[in-house]
Amino acid sequence: MKSVIYETKGRAREFNELAINLFTGCGHQCIYCYGANVLHQTKDDFENRPRPRVTPDDIARSAEDWAKRGETRRVLLCFVTDPYQPIENDTKLTRQTINTLHTAGLNVIILTKGGHRSMRDFDILTPKDAYATTLTCTTPNQSVIWEPNAALPSERMDALKEAHRLGVETWVSFEPVIHPEYTYDLLDLTHEYVGHYKVGTMNYHPHGKMIDWNKYGYSMLSRLKALGLRYYFKKDLLKEMGLIPSQFKQSWICR
C-alpha cells in the first residue's frame, strides 16, 4: 500500500521534505487557491465537499514504516489542504495524526490558516514540533474577500504568539503576496514572536501579474536583514529578482 506520508517535490519541497495531506479539498475557499488543480478536482468539489483523504490506520501504518527506517525529519500537515479547516472540527483527524506521529517517534510541522481552531491541539505539541501560518492581509475586510472561511489575521497572529510562548518553533509563509504593503506591515507586527519567514510570490492568479516582484523581493530582503531575521526566499521570487537559487545565501535552510 502506498505510504500516506510522502516525499514532496517541486514547489512543495520548499515548504518541507515530508508531508501528509489529511483531507481532499478545503473549506476555506481562498480565491487564489490552486489545490483543486493539484488534486484534479473541480473547484466546486474541492471547496464545498472536503472530506478525509486518509484514515487513522493509514497514518499509523505509514508512520511506523518511516520510523523503522530511522526517519528524523518532521512531517508537514498539510500542503494542498488545511489541517484545521472547518471540517476538522467534526473529524478531529489532525489531533489523531499528531498523536500517532508522536507515538512513532516522528514530529510535525503544522501549516494552517485555522487560527484559534488550531490552538486546541497546542497541548500535545512539543518543542520538537513547529507551528506555521500563512499571512496575507492585515484587515478583516480584505481577509474575508480573499480567504472567506479562513481565520482572520488577528486569530492567526494570536496562535503564533501562543505557540511561541509555549516554546514551539514558529514560522510564517508570506505566500501568496496580495499586496506588498500588507506583507511589510505583517512583518512589523509579527517579527518578535516568529522564528523565520518563507517569502514567495503569488502563483496561479492574475492579480500576481500586477506586482513588481523584483522591487518587492529586494525590499523584503532589506527589511529582514535590518531586523536580523531568518528567511527562506522561494525560487519563483529569486527568479523575479534575477538571482540564481544555488548562489543565493538563505539564512534558514528548508527541511
Task: Please write down the HEC assignment for all residues of the chain.
Answer: CCCCCEECCHHHHHCCCEECCCEECCCCCCCCCCHHHHCCCCHHHHHHCCEECCCHHHHHHHHHHHHHCCCCCCEEECCCCCCCCCCHHHHCHHHHHHHHHHHCCCCEEEEECCHHHHHHHHHHCCCCCEEEEECCCCCHHHHHHHCCCCCCHHHHHHHHHHHHHCCCEEEEEECCCCCHHHHHHHHHHHCCCCCEEEECCCCCCHHHHHCCHHHHHHHHHHHHHHCCCEEEECHHHHHHCCCCHHHCCCCCCCC
One-letter amino acid at 18 equals L
**Residue 164: CB atoms within 10 Å:** 17
Q: Are 9 and 64 in contact (CB under 8 A)?
A: no
Please give the pLDDT value at position 1.
59
What percent of the chain lies above the pLDDT cut of 70?
99
pLDDT along the chain (255 residues), means of 10: 88 92 95 87 92 95 96 95 93 96 98 97 98 97 96 98 98 97 98 97 88 98 97 97 94 77
Residue 71: left if φ>0, alpha if ψ -120 to 50, beta else—which one? beta
d(CA 25, CA 18): 19
CA distances to 22, 61, 103, 216, 249 from 171, in Å:
21, 29, 24, 20, 19
At 63-91, the pLDDT tens digits run 999 999 999 999 999 999 999 999 998 89
Please give the pLDDT value at position 37.
85
CA distances to 26, 173, 185 from 4, in Å:
18, 24, 37
Closest residue by Cα to residue 29 from 110, 85, 78: 85
Please give the pLDDT value at position 255.
63
Closest residue by Cα to residue 194 from 164, 218, 232: 164
Please give the pLDDT value at position 224.
98
**pTM for the whole thing?**
0.95
Please give the pLDDT value at position 102.
98
Q: Are 172 and 191 in contact (CB under 8 A)?
A: no
Ordered domains of the chain (ranges, CATH) = 6-247 (3.20.20.70)
d(CA 194, CA 176): 18
Please give the pLDDT value at position 40.
86
